[in-house]
Amino acid sequence: MAKREASGAKPDRAGGARGGAGSGAATPEGFGRPLERVVGKAAATKLERAFGMTTLGDLVWHLPRRYAKRGELTDLASLVPGEHVTVVARVRGVETRDLQRDAKGRPRTLTTITITDGESSLETAFFNQPWRTGELHQGVTALFSGTVGEYKGKRQLAHPTYEAFDEAEGVDAEQWAAKPVPIYPATASLTTMKIEALVAQALDALGDVPDPVPEEVRREHRLMPLVEALRLAHQPKAEQDAFRARHTLAWHEAFLLQTYLLATRDWFDTLPTAPRHAGALLERFDAALPWPLTDDQQSAGAAIAADLASGTAMHRLVQGEVGSGKTVVATRAMLAVAESGGQSALLAPTEVLAVQHLRSITRSLGPELAAELQPTLLTGQMPAADRKRALLAIAAGSARIVVGTHALLSERTTFAELALVVIDEQHRFGVAQREALRAKGLHPHTLVLTATPIPRTIAMTAFGDLDVSTIRTLPAGRSPIQTFVVDQVRQPAAFHRTWGRMSEELAAGRQAFVVCPAIEPGRLEGVDEPAADAPAVGPAPPPVADVVTTLANLRRSPALAGRVVAPLTGAMTTDDKDRTMRAFRDREIDVVVATTVIEVGVDVPNATMMVVLSADRFGVSQLHQLRGRVGRGEHAGLCVLVTGVDELSDARVRLDAVASTLDGFALAEVDLEQRGEGDVLGVAQSGGRSGLKVLRVARDGAIIEAARTAARDVLDADPTLVAHPALRLAVHARLDPDARAALVTA
């Protein structure tokens, strides 16, 4: 997209209430009305405690998670003890029996009402409430909510709340049976029925709210007005009503999000900054490279060079496969900035990665360029004297390339002329952290790197305010990696053979990694997956592997007798981690037993084998990243994913997917499909991008693309949205304070 002419408007740093993802605008009336005024103090307090709701908009955007039908009974056999459930069932039998009198001689009764789905049954129990049989008699269909428990080996609902479905007079039986019943995210104190009643109050109080989606956009894409869609989502008369309402609401969210992202992007295009042109430094660097740049590296480099020379701030994402050469692309950008005396700061999520980046950059620069540019490390755990020297070099401007962790964000860290901010693994950082570093310069260029390939719909949603460059081609010389899944429980011989295979690699002069999810029993580190699925049949999976136990076992293993095996975890000091990695790189250590601190950035070409224990505890992208630590030299890589979960579990499907391909972009789609955008996006959603209520990135790609096109058309015709006040107010409420400059000039 062409750079936009700077407006010269002063950024609006004033605070402002932020609306929810779909809340339109945070105004005193309409969506912004305090809940207490609508539903009363007691109910408002419960809603805030349970769901964080404070406004009428929060409540009306608390949409049903599904819809039940009066004529469609719930599968009771699928209910799990301990879960809070809402089910539709029919009363099959009723029994009330007397119990022993209480201590004061008062009579006690137990009323058991058996409900059924036609095949399975469930008991509901009511103590001292025999009158319930007047409402719940045989043949009645009702909605029941409660926590599934067990009593004498039978599942039951104790004192559930319920709503009997009384067929209204004069209503067609088929229509009555087919009418959807909204089922809300609920709690024990706020049941779905109670929430339905509170939402009805909120809808009655809502009134006429201006729709942020322009009428011409609604007409072109056959969308309902916002308030009508909200009403039908909560109170559909037929299944089709709910479908149409949700389509409109998904469109609404997508359009507001894309308008916000594109307005932010337009704002970046107005920020003036000193043009940075490549020169002799880059020529010397390129001439010394031991291999030619790939076509993708050249393409990304050309786009970055054009951005740096444009005179307005770059905001670009470079995504690429593990080992595709993103660091080289970033280093070339740093050299272009350094040519005119500017400084570059690379922010890494871990100390291990920061140290690896510094060494990689220093090595690629060579002795002469490194002496001129003084690549400097800054981390929070550096010795005080080293940190003081680094801070002085950064402040004086002699360190023109700075690599660090969160220490770069400290108030004590000042730059002479920060011109380029490089963020590695963007998903590890929140918006506030990224902006804190950018604030240390005058509209510095921003280059974001990620080795986690991003599906197109995620890129449009989480990174829609960035230009995107993709590096798919791996540099020449990278060796293939074979990946196998080994079932530790059902294939004990294959698991035992894994260590023999590692012994063979070590005997050939190579090295290996062993990765565990935990540092010690019960202490997970850097794992992005929940607990593994319980086995459908057969034995339970083994305990989660940890570094402490695994280290002791491997040191006793006959297969690794005489080998040096050492730990590497985030709990170690910076010096200890650095010594371990240095010794491993110098081949003084044969096997490193590590957590995910080695997930990105670790480059040891002689390491050819990786064993991931309790691999089911890691996500698809994490496993792909970990696997990329081997096969980085002349010898082929081998990755063994060890698990004990059932073959039919979702976790095993993940592992088989990783073993089936080395294509990180294909695996990213698998990851998105399995885990959903909430987990895949991570903290990238923070700063106004979170809280999607209806829109699903994995499912709604077509809506996102169409909404982005529509948003671009609206902004092109009306850059400050002066002709679209409702949209302007809604987007303004979402924008980060500085980015509001794009909309305050009207």
pLDDT at 169: 47
Q: How far apart are CA 567 and CA 595, in angstroms?
A: 9
Bridge partners of 316, per DSSP, are 447, 467
DSSP string computed for 513-530: EEE-SEEETTEE-S--S-
Q: How far apart are CA 84 and CA 79, in angstroms?
A: 9
pLDDT at 285: 95
Distances in whole angstroms, Cα of residue 656 to Cα of each of 29, 338, 616, 671, 698:
53, 46, 10, 12, 21
pLDDT at 76: 84
Range with the lowest mean pLDDT among 141-145, 202-206, 419-423?
141-145
pLDDT at 724: 93
Mean pLDDT of 174-184: 73
Mean pLDDT of 79-89: 80
Please answer whether residues 229 and 245 qualify as being in contact, where contact means their C-beta atoms are separated by less than 8 angstroms: yes
Range with the lowest mean pLDDT among 389-393, 402-406, 626-630, 693-697?
693-697
pLDDT at 688: 35
CB atoms within 10 A of CB 248: 24
Helix/strand/coil for 538: coil
Task: Look up residue 653 and give its amino acid.
Answer: V
Please answer whether residues 338 and 308 qualify as being in contact, where contact means their C-beta atoms are separated by less than 8 angstroms: no
DSSP string computed for 681-714: HGGGGTTTT---SS--TTT-HHHHHHHHHHHHHH
pLDDT at 31: 84
pLDDT digits (tens, 9 = 90+) for 287-304: 998 888 989 999 999 999
pLDDT at 300: 95
pLDDT at 536: 42
pLDDT at 672: 67
Bridge partners of 592, per DSSP, are 513, 566
Residues composing the chain = 746
More confident call, 363 vs 600 = 363
Percent above pLDDT 70 for the chain: 82
pLDDT digits (tens, 9 = 90+) for 354-368: 888 898 899 999 999
Q: How far apart are CA 699 and CA 246, in angstroms?
A: 13
pLDDT exceeds cutoff 70 at 582? yes
Mean pLDDT of 558-571: 92
Both tokens of 654, joined, read 């993940």
Range with the lowest mean pLDDT among 87-101, 296-310, 472-486, 617-631?
472-486
pLDDT at 238: 86
Q: Report the candidate in 180, 155, 184, 164 with the shortest Cα–Cα distance to residue 76.
A: 155
Q: How far apart are CA 385 and CA 391, in angstroms?
A: 10
pLDDT exceeds cutoff 80 at 534? no
pLDDT at 447: 93
Tell me which residue has tokens 């990765």: 515
Bridge partners of 486, per DSSP, are 642
Q: Report the candidate in 211, 329, 312, 334 with the shortest Cα–Cα distance to residue 266.
A: 312
Both tokens of 735, joined, read 């924008």
Task: Look up residue 619 and give its amino acid.
Answer: G
Burial of residue 446 (number of CB atoms within 10 Å: 0-12, 13-18, 19+):
buried
pLDDT at 539: 55
Q: Which helix (H) or strand (E) holds 123?
A: strand 121-127
User: Backbone phi, then psi, for 67, in 5-degree steps?
Assistant: -130, 135
Mean pLDDT of 91-102: 86
Both tokens of 301, joined, read 């480099």
Best-predicted range by mean pLDDT among 203-207, 596-600, 607-611? 607-611
pLDDT digits (tens, 9 = 90+) for 448-465: 888 776 766 676 766 677
pLDDT at 428: 56
More confident call, 334 vs 74 = 334
Mean pLDDT of 170-199: 76
More confident call, 136 vs 18 = 136
Both tokens of 547, joined, read 């570094």
Tell me which residue has tokens 């530790």: 488
pLDDT exceeds cutoff 50 at 686? no
Both tokens of 175, joined, read 């229509």
pLDDT exceeds cutoff 90 at 527? no
Q: Which H, E and C letters describe 612-657, residue by residue?
A: ECCHHHCCHHHHHHHHCCCCCCCCCEEEEEEECCCCCCHHHHHHHH
Q: How far apart are CA 566 and CA 5, in angstroms?
A: 56
pLDDT at 646: 83
Distances in whole angstroms, Cα of residue 489 to Cα of each of 370, 547, 693:
52, 20, 41
* Rama region for 685: left / alpha / beta (φ>0; ψ in -120 to 50; rest): alpha
Please answer whether residues 404 and 379 qualify as being in contact, where contact means their C-beta atoms are separated by less than 8 angstroms: yes
- The pairs formed by 123-127 with CB atoms below 8 angstroms and a separation of 24 or more are 123/151, 123/154, 123/155, 123/156, 123/157, 124/156, 124/157, 124/158, 124/160, 124/162, 125/151, 125/156, 125/157, 125/158, 125/159, 126/159, 127/159
Best-predicted range by mean pLDDT among 72-76, 152-156, 369-373? 369-373
pLDDT digits (tens, 9 = 90+) for 214-265: 999 999 999 999 999 999 999 998 889 999 999 999 999 899 988 988 888 8
Q: How far apart are CA 360 and CA 439, in angstroms?
A: 27
Q: How far apart are CA 401 and CA 411, in angstroms?
A: 19
pLDDT at 525: 62
pLDDT class of 551 with cuts at 50, 70, 90? very high
* Rama region for 207: left / alpha / beta (φ>0; ψ in -120 to 50; rest): left
Mean pLDDT of 8-14: 30
Please answer whether residues 481 and 633 qualify as being in contact, where contact means their C-beta atoms are separated by less than 8 angstroms: no
